[in-house]
Structure 1
Amino acid sequence: MSAVWQFLGRRQGHDKLSAVDWIVYIYLFFGFLIIALPVGWIALNSVKSAFQLEKQDLSILPSDFNRVARATVYSDQGREIFIINDLPDWVLNWKDLRPEERAARNVPEFLASYEGRAFYALRSHLGQVPTQVRALIAAQNMPEWLLRYPSMSATARQDVDIEAALAGRSADERRLLGEFLGLAPYEPNRMISQILVTAPHPETGVVQNYAVPKFDPSRPFLAARDATNATSGVIRIPTETATATRTINPSWGNYIEPLSGKAFGVNVNFAACFTNSVLVTLIATLLTLLINSMAAFSLSKYKFRGQTMFFVIILATLMVPPTITLVGVFKAINATGLSGSIWGVIIPGAATPAGVFLLRQYMLTIPDELIEAARMDAASEWKVYWRIILPLALPALAALGILSVIWRWNDLILPMVAIATTKEAYTIQLCLLEFRGEHLSQEHYRLAMTMVSLIPTTLVFVFLQKHITTGVANTGLK
């Protein structure tokens, strides 16, 4: 830490900060913010719950309000809206639970502690209506077509006698069947989560609890409903008088579930994707260093006809956008049978023109006398390359290796061309696309796994950046 503070406290040599010092520190400060703020935003949002992200909660920390449930129940008397207090979190977040988490809950035992309209609302919310209808039809030997009635066409419904099937049923049975079949006056009951706030009543001044759909401090009033069900109407309370309690609740499951292959709604194992990316990056980087260094050695230390032309052609490929060559790369991968394999990602990019140029320029700085002396000692060309050129070109090789790791780790286009049809071979970047589909968006998983994908390249860059600066700085001295 002392070295860090010594670096940050550097000046131009004066006792006081000069204008140049102020400009440099301001520049560094804003540069740090530009880089750190997006990463910090992703990190904080990666531990927020799916519910908090879906509601576009702009709070900085992964927290949530204390909540209650607003239920809507239909009956012969019409629609009833009321508040249910003190429900456990797993009930409020029932729709976000995985199937195995739902199966672990004893829902019938939980429902047994409720009755009346609260029971009807919770029964629908927890998905128990179809289960109880099937049990009722089997126990009472009722017609099997009742289970198909909600999906029947209007013509098919005319061929069945629904009233005769419901005749002689008790009020609770008719209600259960009416909710399942969608018969008037019953409709599917609903229950949603709302924020619990405390505020004085706008007329009486009595402090009490209210349920509000959204707590927005920028609005002058909140549409609230009495949480004690003293009144079923909606009233407006001043926002400045309302208080809501937030609790810090990081969702570490955003990291654990994808890495363990238990992410709901996602058909890929992120741990396998991570392993694939590691293999692709390491193997491709080693091949890149080997092939590029050989090409650079021949272009820098050998004299042959067409040498300049080959070098110009290699440099000219830098001017061709990668998207132009995608069709050719796709056909080559299919023709060689590499489609669906990680080798289809590794081999096409094994040689890079930028790497050849970087290493060639560095190898030009290596004295030719060393090579001639090795040849006079009967060293083979391979030994010259392996024992002399590679050790002396280590700074440039380290710089190219680090850049290759970053390029390969973050590559998306080539994996989409080579392995998009084989999920077992997916790399990290393809896996991140799986967390957002047409009908299901798992942003909490994608943000968490984005943070995981940043770790390797960040560590490589932080601990090996000196090799990048050394290799690039010494390139092109000749």
Structure 2
Amino acid sequence: MSSVWTFLTRTQGRGRLTLTDWVSYAYLLLGFLIILVPVAWLGLNSVKTAFQIEKQDLALLPGDFDRVARATVNGPEGREIFVIGDAPDWVLNWKDLNAEQKAAQDVAGYLAGKEGRELFALRTHLDQVTTLARAEITALGLPDWLTRYSALTPQARTAFDLDVALAGLSADQERLIKEYLGVDPYKPNRIVTQVLVTAPDPESGRVMQWAVPNLNPQSAFLPGRAVDGSIDGVVRLPRDTVTASRNIKPAWGNFLDPLTGQAYGINVDFATCITNSVLVTIIATVITLLINSMAGFALSKYQFRGQVFFLAIILTTLMVPATITLVGVFKAINATGLSGSIWGVIIPGAATPAGVFLLRQYMLTIPDELIEAARMDSATEWSVYWRIVLPLALPALAALGILSIIWRWNDLIIPMVAIATTKEAYTIQLCLLEFRGEHISQEHYRLAMTVVSLIPTTLVFVFLQKYITTGIANTGMK
């Protein structure tokens, strides 16, 4: 720590801070903030709850509000919207629970204490309509075609008389089966989670509890619905009169669920994705170092016809964007039968123009006299390469190896081309795309797994950066 403090308190040597010192420290602080703020934002958001992310809560710290359920029930009387103020956390978070967590809840016992519109909304939210309706059809001896009715086309439904089949049932029994069949006016009921706040009624001044969609700090008014149901409809609540209870509660499940294969709505194993990325990165880096070092050795220590031409071709490819060669890479992967295999990710990028140029420039600094002396001692070309050139080129090899690890770990384009149709071979970057789809968005999982994906490359860069700077700097030495 003393060395760090000494570095941070350095001046120009005049015993006081000069203008140059102030500018230097301001520039250092600005650079530090530019790097730190996005990383800190990502880290803090990765442990926010799904509700917090969904509602775009701008609070710095992860936490959770006291919440209630806003229910929408459809029936012959039309659409009813009301608030269920006593719903437990497992009900509010039902959609985010995995199968094991859902099975651990006493859903039947909980619904047994409900009736009326609350029962209608909750049994739909808790995925009980299908189970209860099929049990009712079996128990009452109703026609079997009722279980297939919702899948029939409108023309096919005309062959069955639904009213006759349901005749004699009680109102609750008829409603349950029609909700299961999706017959008008029984559209799917719905429950969404809202924030529980306390605020005075704008008209009477009575302090009450309200359910609001979110606490938008940019809005002067928030739409609120009375929790106790004493006021119908939505009331505009002044933002400055609203208070909410927030608890600091990091959502560590954002990390644990994907890594243990329990993330809701995700059909990839993130632990397997990490394993695939590790294999691809290590194998590809070893192959890259081997091929590029051989090419660099040949271009730096051999004199042959076309040497300059080949070097020019290699350097020219540095100016070609990767997207231009994407179609050719895709055809080559399919033609060689590598599609769907991690080898289709490893082999296409095995030789890199930047790596060849880096190693060639470094190997030019190795004295030719060492190589000639080895040849005079009857050393083979392989021995010269393996025992003399490679050990002397270790700084450049280390720099290229570190860069290759970062490139391969973060690569998305080649995996999308080679293994997009094989989920078992997905790398970590492809797995991150699985957290957002057409019908589901698990941003809290994606933020957490993005943090996990950054850890290896960050550690490699932090602890081995000196090899990068040394290796690259020495490639220009003569």
TM-score of the superposition, structure 1-length normalised?
Answer: 0.92
Query: In the alignment, what sits opposite 2:416?
Result: 416
Q: Provide, for residues 276-309 of structure 1, a one-character-per-residue CA deviation record: whole Å limited to 9, x for no partner.
A: 1111111111122122222222222222333222
- The whole-number CA distance in structure 2 between the counterparts of 1:186 and 1:289 is 65
Match of 2:255 in 1: 255
Equivalent runs, 1:52-451 vs 2, <5 Å: 52-74=52-74, 79-181=79-181, 187-451=187-451
Cα displacement (A) at 1:105: 2.0
1:51-106 C-alpha deviation (Å, 9 max, x unpaired)? 32222222222222111122344566655443222211111122233334323322
Structure 1 SS opposite 2:450: helix
Q: Give the letter aligned to residue 439 of structure 1.
A: H
CA contact (8 A) 1:199 1:208 kept: yes
CA contact (8 A) 1:179 1:187 kept: yes
The 5 Å alignment of 1:11-26 reads 11-26=11-26
Report SS of the residue matched to 2:325. helix
Q: Name the stretch that deviates more: 68-77 or 98-107.
A: 68-77
Q: For the structure 1 residues 206 and 36, does the alpha-carbon distance in structure 2 shift closer, same or farther, using more than 3 Å as the test?
A: same
| Residue-by-residue CA offset, 1:377-400 (whole Å, 9 max, x unaligned) | 333332222222222211111111
- Please report the TM-score for the alignment, with normalisation by the length of structure 2: 0.92
One-letter amino acid of the structure 1 residue matched with residue 7 of structure 2: F
Counterparts in 2 of 1:385 and 1:229: CA distance versus 1, 3 Å:
same
- Residues 49, 444 of structure 2: 8 Å contact kept: yes
Aligned 8 A contact 2:396 2:475 in 1? yes
Paired AA for residue 99 in structure 2: P
Aligned residues: 478
Instruction: Check if 1:3 corresponds to 2:21.
Output: no
Give 1:155 deviation, angstroms. 4.3
1:375–1:152 CA distance, 2 compared to 1 (3 A): closer
Describe the shift of the 1:176–1:265 C-alpha distance in structure 2 as closer, same or farther (beyond 3 A). closer
Deviation at 1:182, TM superposition (A): 5.1
Indicate how the Cα distance of structure 1 residues 154 and 355 shifts in structure 2: closer, same or farther if over 3 A, else same. Answer: closer
Distance 2:350 2:340 in 1: 18
Question: Which residues of structure 1 form unaligned runs of 5+?
Answer: none
- Output the CA distance in 1 between the equivalents of 2:422 and 2:153: 40
Q: State the one-letter code of the partner of 1:251.
A: A
Tell me how far 1:468 sits from its aligned partner: 0.9
CA–CA distance in 2 between the matches of 1:395 and 1:59? 46
Kindly report the root-mean-square deviation, in angstroms, between the aligned alpha carbons of the 2 structures.
2.3
Range 403-412 or range 344-353, more displaced = 344-353
Answer yes or no: is the 8 Å Cα contact 2:224–2:236 preserved in 1: yes
Seen in structure 2, the aligned counterparts of structure 1 residues 149 and 381 have a Cα distance that, compared at 3 Å, is closer
* Cα pair distance change 1:413/1:157, threshold 3 Å: closer
Cα distance between partner residues in 1 of 2:182 and 2:330:
52
Deviation at 1:197, TM superposition (A): 0.9
Residues 418-450 of structure 1: CA deviation (Å, up to 9, x unaligned): 222222222112222222222222222222111
- The Cα of 1:158 is off from its aligned counterpart by 4.3
1:190 Cα deviation from its structure 2 partner: 3.1
Structure 2: how far apart are the matches of 1:189 and 1:421? 36
Task: Say if 1:300 and 1:115 are closer, same or farther in 2 by CA, change over 3 A.
Answer: same
Residue deviations 1:144-179, cap 9 Å, x none?
333344454444444433333333323332333344
| 1:284/1:129 CA distance change after superposition, 3 Å | closer
- Deviation (angstroms), 1:133: 1.9
8 Å Cα contact 1:81-1:232 kept in structure 2: no
